[in-house]
Amino acid sequence: MRTRVLIAGAALVLAAGITACERSTPGTVAMTTEPGASTTRTSTRPSTSSPRTSSPRTSSPRTSSNVPPPSNSLTMTCEEYIDLDSDTQTAVIEEIVAQEGSVIGPQNTEIAKTLADAMCQFMPTSTVNELLLGGSPP
């Protein structure tokens, strides 16, 4: 049991670390004095394309599942969880992180689902609730 608690604690630390990495700090790009590629065009045709800017690719987090959570969401074992479809798994995770006192907030549902998906592969007899929140279900 001690090993499970340690693994759950490590997962929570990982979740906190991932959450902290979601923040970006505005700033400027460093300038260099190194010579680069030529910016002159060799073509005589006028360019019709606009300058391209790159922006980081981000996926929009799911805000909620389209299915209701099963009645045993808080006591569900990983074996049961793994057999569910993705939308129902998301509903289970949303139900767990919505509990009072949860250290994983509803805004981190995708992170919690990723953790549950990974950890349930290794601990099929544990409950999803205890893996994510580190304790036994209410």
Residue 104: band (very low, low, confident or very high) from pLDDT cuts 50, 70, 90: confident
Q: For residue 102, how many other CB atoms are within 10 A of its CB?
A: 15
The pLDDT of residue 62 is: 45
The pLDDT of residue 138 is: 47
Contact 91, 65 (CB under 8 A): yes
Residues with Cβ within 8 Å of residue 66, at least 6 apart in sequence: 87
pLDDT per residue as tens digits for the range 43-93: 555 555 555 554 444 444 445 668 889 999 999 999 999 999 999 999 999
Q: What is the pTM for the complete model shown?
A: 0.53
CA–CA separation, 88 and 70 (whole Å)? 8
- CA-based torsion, 60, 134, 77, 125: positive or negative: positive
Percentage above 90 pLDDT, the chain: 33
Alpha-carbon distances, residue 79 vs 2, 6, 76, 87 (angstroms) = 21, 20, 8, 16
CA–CA separation, 90 and 88 (whole Å)? 5
CATH class given for the domain over 1-20+64-138: mainly alpha
- CA-based torsion, 79, 82, 84, 90: positive or negative: positive
The pLDDT of residue 102 is: 80
- Domain positions in the chain are 1-20+64-138
Helix (H, G, I), strand (E, B) or coil at 77: strand
The pLDDT of residue 55 is: 47
